[in-house]
């Protein structure tokens, strides 16, 4: 070895022996986990890091006082180099962080990561989800615009509807007793000090538990030996994570260019009086529930209790869904409930978005919420029946692929029926929202929803049949069949 | 030189040009903000593609053509965006 190489080797060995670079703390990862869906939590952390960096840069200029908050935000927008870009990236990455955290949670739900021995990981993850929403809530107020202040005031107003002890504690924590000035200062402190510190502690705890229990197996429960091959976290998996982070970062940058942030007018009580407050998209579903007529006035505490109950159920999920079955195929009820939950959130959020400040009659809400649940349950159980019954029956021959003519004819019929059903559903929904509900419109809506469900179901069946002879779907299903047969 | 080597060469050149362009931007101009974001995105996406090709080679696996095509499409989209949004 040349003398220079020997010096470098000794230097590397010195650092390695002190820093432990060649002995990574994290355990290797099975190959089946090299898949973006396994790294949604890691991407949420990447979003958090981007938030931290952009946030710290904005902290250099932001002043948390009602008089200067808007001016300092405007200064960042107009005077600071790349200030508008920083604000836009901070906002869209915050949105992405909330969306990724939600997707991470729902993926965990569907693939049963909450089951033994990962119950506490689920609960800690749920707390982290709340902290993430807390980031959104506290950060929204900081620019002190009419949009942010009005929406936050509505949120703070809800605290009064809670039981007295909780209401007092929350009011003290988030508002204080000094009006706007203390409110903004507390929101700022929570946003830049308390919540990041709490999230970092929880993240460490969750990483520790992940190292103890390892990455969960896929929900199919079928993993080949090849896919179980362990890959070291450094440099292999780290490189994969860097790829994901780079793609995510470039997507955030592109979005911030296409939709640059515009600063709404400064908050003033006079301007706020003319403005219909509406929360940011991630709270729209709660906003829409609170606008249902029976939850007006004294009913508000009932609505908040229902939302709280929903969160408690999510927290306690590992102790409710105690079955040892982890595969999707074995959990039709919980999978259907999960799909209904996601669909209801989307429907309520969109509905809240298009009806700002509008009180929703109870019958209308019941129809939309109930109809959504019904259609999802119908489609989900139908899909289970169509796709999985064959596996469970263990038939040897299975359905045959349709002829080309039959496939084309079916496709044309389904496309026409689908277009009609979608158009009619949307048209009737808009008519109900604009003109109110009557029996004829209700009948029309229910029939078009049933037709839409039928089209979706029939399309799934058609794709399955067309794809059957040589496609990846049939290969996967046959692979599953084979594994089930072998396990028996 | 195989297809992947050629692609990595093009990506490295693109990164160099893009990074050089970033440093030369007038930070005080509002138009520069969009340009800065787009060319930073080009750098990041190029890095992701190079890392993907390198990782697959290290693991002795074939690169999926669809990911390389999608990445290249993304780069073209970003370059076109740099003309539209700036």
Instruction: Determine the pLDDT at residue A408.
Output: 72
Q: b/e for A178-215, b at 16 or more Cβ within 10 A? A: eebeebbbbbbebbbeebbebbeebbeebeebbeeeee
Q: Which domain holds residue B61?
A: 3-84
pLDDT tens digits, A431-461: 887 777 788 888 888 888 888 888 888 887 7
A81, A243, A253: residue with CB nearest B40: A253
Q: How confident is the model at residue A172 (pLDDT cuts 50, 70, 90)?
A: confident
Q: Is residue A423 a contact partner of residue A455, using CB atoms and an 8 Å limit?
A: no
Apex A250 CA angle, A138 and B57, nearest 5: 130
- A396 pLDDT more than 50: no
Number of folded domains in chain B?
1
Give the largest Cα separation in chain B, rounded: 47
Residues of chain A with pLDDT > 90, as a percent, come to 43
Q: Do B55 and A239 touch (CB under 8 A)?
A: yes
Q: Do A254 and B58 touch (CB under 8 A)?
A: no
Contacts of A195 (CB under 8 A, 6+ apart): A131, A134, A135, A138
> What pairs with residue A30 in β-bridges?
A230
The encoded tokens of residue A470 equal: 């040589």
- B68 pLDDT more than 50: yes
Sign of the CA dihedral A137, A141, A147, A150? positive
- B80 pLDDT more than 70: yes
Q: Do B59 and A254 touch (CB under 8 A)?
A: no
Instruction: Determine the pLDDT at residue A219.
Output: 77
A12 vs B53: which has the higher pLDDT: B53
Q: Do B45 and A258 touch (CB under 8 A)?
A: no
Average pLDDT value for chain A:
86
B36, B55, B81: residue with CB nearest A236: B55
Residues of chain A in contact with residue B42, where contact means CB-CB under 8 angstroms, are 250
A334 vs A220: which has the higher pLDDT: A334
> How many other C-beta atoms can be found within 10 angstroms of the C-beta atom of residue A263?
16
Q: How confident is the model at residue B15 (pLDDT cuts 50, 70, 90)?
A: very high
Q: What is the mean pLDDT of residues A158-169?
A: 78
Q: Is A57 on the interface with B (CB under 8 A)?
A: no
Chain mean position to CA B57: 19
Q: How confident is the model at residue A403 (pLDDT cuts 50, 70, 90)?
A: low
Q: Which of A148-152, A159-163, A449-453 has the lowest mean pLDDT?
A: A159-163
Q: How confident is the model at residue A488 (pLDDT cuts 50, 70, 90)?
A: low
Q: Is residue A194 a contact partner of residue A134, using CB atoms and an 8 Å limit?
A: no
pLDDT tens digits, A335-359: 999 999 999 999 999 999 999 889 9
Closest-CA distance of chain A to residue B23, Å: 13
Q: Do B48 and A260 touch (CB under 8 A)?
A: no
Residues of chain B in contact with residue A253, where contact means CB-CB under 8 angstroms, are 37-38, 40-41, 44
Asked if the peptide bond before residue A145 counts as cis, ω within 30 degrees of 0, the response is no
Task: Please report how many Cα atoms fall inside a 13 Å half-sphere around the Cα of residue A226, on the Cβ side.
Answer: 0
CA distance A198 to A278: 28
Give the closest residue to A286 by CA, choosing from A343, A339, A348, A356.
Answer: A348
Instruction: Determine the pLDDT at residue A222.
Output: 72
pLDDT tens digits, A246-293: 999 999 999 998 898 999 999 999 998 888 888 999 999 999 999 999
pLDDT tens digits, A355-392: 988 999 988 899 899 988 998 898 888 888 777 665 55
Q: Which helix (H) or strand (E) holds A231?
A: strand A230-231
Q: Is A81 on the interface with B (CB under 8 A)?
A: yes
Instruction: Determine the pLDDT at residue A401.
Output: 62
B30 vs A267: which has the higher pLDDT: A267
This prediction's pTM: 0.81
Q: What is the mean pLDDT of residues A84-96?
A: 95
CA distance B55 to A433: 53
Instruction: Determine the pLDDT at residue A7.
Output: 86
The interface pTM score, or ipTM, of the predicted complex is 0.94
Instruction: Determine the pLDDT at residue A88.
Output: 94
Q: What is the mean pLDDT of residues A182-210?
A: 95
Closest-CA distance of chain A to residue B49, Å: 7
CA distance A329 to A381: 11
> What pairs with residue A292 in β-bridges?
A360
Q: Is residue A142 a contact partner of residue A91, using CB atoms and an 8 Å limit?
A: no
Residue of B nearest to A258 (CA): B85
Q: How confident is the model at residue A395 (pLDDT cuts 50, 70, 90)?
A: very low
- A160 pLDDT more than 80: no
- CB < 8 Å from B in window 222-251 of A: 236, 239-240, 242-244, 246-247, 249-251
Q: Do A257 and B38 touch (CB under 8 A)?
A: yes
Residues of chain A in contact with residue B54, where contact means CB-CB under 8 angstroms, are 239
> How many other C-beta atoms can be found within 10 angstroms of the C-beta atom of residue B70?
13
- A468 pLDDT more than 80: no
Q: Is residue A99 a contact partner of residue A129, using CB atoms and an 8 Å limit?
A: no
Instruction: Determine the pLDDT at residue A467.
Output: 66
Residues of chain A with pLDDT > 70, as a percent, come to 91
Instruction: Determine the pLDDT at residue A207.
Output: 93
């Amino acid at each position: 070895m040349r003398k220079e190489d020997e010096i470098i080797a000794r230097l590397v060995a010195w650092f390695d022996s002190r820093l432990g670079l060649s002995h990574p703390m994290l355990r290797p990862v099975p190959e089946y986990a090299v898949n973006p869906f396994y790294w949604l939590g890691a991407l949420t952390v990447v979003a958090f890091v981007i938030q931290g960096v952009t946030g710290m840069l904005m902290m250099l200029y932001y002043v948390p006082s009602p008089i200067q908050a808007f001016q300092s935000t405007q200064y960042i927008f107009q005077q600071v180099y790349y200030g508008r870009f920083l604000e836009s990236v901070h906002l869209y990455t915050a949105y992405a962080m909330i969306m990724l955290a939600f997707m991470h949670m729902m993926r965990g739900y569907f693939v049963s990561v909450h089951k033994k021995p990962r119950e506490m990981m689920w609960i800690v993850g749920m707390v982290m989800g709340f902290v993430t929403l807390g980031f959104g809530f506290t950060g929204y107020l900081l620019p002190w615009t009419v949009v942010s202040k009005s929406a936050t005031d509505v949120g703070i107003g809800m605290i009064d509807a809670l039981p007295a002890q909780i209401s007092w504690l929350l009011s003290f924590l988030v508002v204080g007793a000094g009006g706007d000035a203390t409110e903004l200062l507390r929101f700022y402190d929570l946003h830049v000090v308390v919540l990041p510190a709490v999230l970092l502690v929880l993240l460490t705890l969750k990483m520790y538990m992940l190292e103890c229990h390892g990455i969960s197996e896929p929900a199919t429960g079928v993993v080949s030996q090849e896919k179980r091959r362990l890959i070291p976290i450094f440099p292999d998996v780290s490189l994969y994570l860097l790829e994901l982070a780079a793609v995510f970062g470039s997507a955030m940058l592109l979005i911030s260019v296409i939709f640059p942030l515009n600063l709404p007018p400064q908050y003033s009580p006079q301007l706020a009086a003319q403005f219909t407050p509406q929360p940011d998209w991630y709270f729209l579903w709660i906003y829409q529930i609170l606008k249902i007529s029976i939850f007006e006035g004294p009913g508000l505490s009932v609505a908040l209790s229902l939302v709280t109950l929903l969160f408690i159920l999510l927290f306690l999920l590992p102790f409710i869904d105690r079955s040892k079955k982890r595969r999707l195929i074995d959990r039709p009820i919980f999978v259907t409930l999960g799909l209904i939950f996601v669909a209801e959130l989307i429907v309520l959020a969109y509905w809240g978005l298009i009806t700002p400040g509008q009180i929703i009659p109870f019958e209308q809400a019941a129809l939309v919420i109930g109809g959504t649940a019904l259609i999802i349950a119908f489609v989900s159980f139908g899909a289970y029946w169509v796709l999985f019954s064959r596996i469970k029956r263990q038939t040897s021959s299975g359905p045959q692929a349709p002829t080309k003519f039959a496939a084309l004819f079916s496709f044309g019929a389904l496309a026409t029926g689908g277009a009609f059903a979608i158009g009619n559903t949307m048209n009737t929904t808009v008519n109900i929202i604009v003109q109110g509900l009557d029996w004829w419109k209700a009948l029309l809506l229910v029939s078009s929803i049933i037709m839409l469900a039928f089209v979706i179901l029939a399309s799934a069946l058609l794709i399955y049949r067309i794809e059957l002879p040589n496609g990846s779907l049939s290969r996967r299903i046959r692979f599953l069949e084979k594994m089930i047969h072998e396990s028996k | 030189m195989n297809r992947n080597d050629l692609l990595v060469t093009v990506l490295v050149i693109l990164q160099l040009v893009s990074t050089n362009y970033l440093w030369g931007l007038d930070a005080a101009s509002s138009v520069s903000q969009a340009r800065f974001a787009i060319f930073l995105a080009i750098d990041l996406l190029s890095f992701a593609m190079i890392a993907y090709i390198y990782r697959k080679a290290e693991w002795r696996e074939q690169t999926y053509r669809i990911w390389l095509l999608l990445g290249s499409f993304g780069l073209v989209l970003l370059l076109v965006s740099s003309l539209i949004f700036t």
